[in-house]
Amino acid sequence: MISFNHVALFVSDLEKSGRFYEQLLELKKIDEPFKLGKHIWFHIGDHCQLHLIADKPKPDNVHWHFSFSVPDVAAFAQKLEAAQISYGDLGDTSKNNICFRPDGIKQIFFQDPDGYWIEANDDRY
């Protein structure tokens, strides 16, 4: 079964945005694997997360994406290939390759017909 995983947003002021989501919306911070000081992750529902990324907002950037967990990334990639949809790593869909996050989760990125970026991964929470 495919399920929603996370939303990632670039924010111009990470601390200000972090306070907004944590204090105003009362979202619970969760651990994030990158440990670079550029990310804040929140729990936003059953197995759903919000990832804030410190950088100038860039709507056309792959970091503005939504993500779904799939049972098998390789099988899902084959489905994309059958539909002639390119996939790959963080905006480079020229190689149709499966990549790995720092925490070992398999992931691929692809675009919908309007160019919105979508991530599919095998995160099992």
Average pLDDT on 84-90 reads 92
Going from the C-alpha of 101 to that of each of 19, 20, 56, the distances in angstroms are 26, 27, 22
DSSP code for 53: E
Q: Show the domains of the chain with their CATH numbers.
A: 3-121 (3.10.180.10)
Rounded to whole angstroms, the Cα distance separating 21 from 107 reads 26
Burial class (CB in 10 A: 0-12, 13-18, 19+), 49: buried
Average model confidence (pLDDT) across the chain: 90
Q: Model confidence over 28-58: pLDDT tens digits?
A: 999 999 999 999 999 998 889 999 999 987 6
Q: Say what the pLDDT of residue 51 is.
A: 96
Rounded to whole angstroms, the Cα distance separating 31 from 93 reads 29
User: Residue 77 pLDDT more than 90?
Assistant: yes
Q: Say what the pLDDT of residue 57 is.
A: 75
Q: Say what the pLDDT of residue 116 is.
A: 77
Q: Which pLDDT band, with edges at 50, 70 and 90, does 59 fall under?
A: low
Most confident residue range from 24-28, 55-59, 80-84: 80-84
Which pTM was predicted? 0.72
